[in-house]
Amino acid sequence: MSPVGPGNGPRIPESPLRLAAIAVGGSLGTVARYAIDRSVVPPPLGFPWATFTVNVAGSFVLGMIVTLVVERWPPTRFVRPFAAIGFCGGFTTFSTLAVEATQRVQHGRPGPAVVYVTASLVAGLLAATLGMTLARGRLLPVPRDRPVPDPDDLGSLSAAVPDEAAP
Amino acid sequence: MTVLGVMIAGACGAVLRYLVDHVVQRRAGSAFPVGTMVINLSGSFVLGVLTGSALHHGISVTWLTVVGTGLIGAYTTFSTFTFDSVRLAEADRWGLSLLNVAASIVLGLAAAAAGLALGSSA
């Protein structure tokens, strides 16, 4: 996500349209998180399902969108600023996770805090991986050692080999 | 009205995150996502201060919702953090990936605790 370019210095060369796409996406993502947060009211110091859900779902969607934009789709100008940096970035939140976990520790509930943080990390990392994998169309690869060729079409078999060999 | 405030604050938080990430990451010039880490740690601290103040000094719920849920919630991000961690692991930079996860969580909780303490006392 973080843009790293050589020799451009810390100036901000972004177009107003790009910043506007981030702002609109961020606004929609934030209000979506707010709506989910309001609709899921847990018992005090119970498991924070709302934050957990938005963080895992947002990790999945961001992984998929960024991979599609970078690896699969033709160049786009506004999909990444709007959907990834704006919407998914605004939808998910790190600070609420940190404060919720800390409050549980401070109220003598370190166990639920550890469960919450660990579950968020594991599910979030898996969700991002799944989104990236789906975007690459590699969820169900043909087993390399057991190709299932159409016996009447050797052409498709030979055409499939280079893709299979890709890392 | 609160919803409108959350939307405006969310837009500001997302743009602020982008600008801070841009500036920090270009200064660092590193493969490590230091920009996102700076954002998440600073946001965790500020949300801690706000939450502590709301609990002990009675700042209004609307204020906490607009600034905390809206601005700081949108400023910090979990999805970029998980994406960057997976991408580092994919590039066989497992050390940096583990460092990103461990440091973000440990320092993020410490920042939130320091913010909560400050907000509760000040």
Q: How far apart are CA A1 and CA B85, in angstroms?
A: 11
In percent, how much of chain B has pLDDT > 70? 99
Tokens of residue A12, six digits: 């901000």
Residue A19: closest C-alpha in chain B: B15
Q: Are A37 and A49 in contact (CB under 8 A)?
A: no
For residue A5, pLDDT over 50 is answered with no
pLDDT confidence of residue B88: 97
Q: At A6, is the pLDDT very low, low, confident or very high (cuts 50, 70, 90)?
A: very low
How far is B99 from A25, CA to CA, in rounded Å?
30
Q: What is the pLDDT of residues A58-91, one digit of tens each?
A: 999 999 999 999 999 998 989 999 999 999 999 9
The pTM (predicted TM-score) of the whole model is: 0.85
Specify the residue for token string 């939808």. Answer: A91
pLDDT by residue (tens digit) across B46-99? 999 999 999 888 888 899 999 999 999 999 999 999 999 999 999 999 999 999
* Token output for B47: 């949300």
Cβ separation of B70 and A93 shorter than 8 Å?
A: no
Give the mean model confidence (pLDDT) for residues A14-24: 92
Reduced to 3 states, what is the DSSP secondary structure of residue B122? coil
Task: Give how far B99 is from chain A: nearest CA, Å.
Answer: 13
Residues whose CB is less than 8 angstroms from the CB of residue A21 and which lie 6 or more positions away in sequence, other chains included: A78, A81, A82, A86
Tens digits of residue pLDDT in B11-57:
999 999 999 999 999 999 888 999 999 999 999 999 999 999 998 88
Flag if B17 and A129 touch (Cβ within 8 Å): no
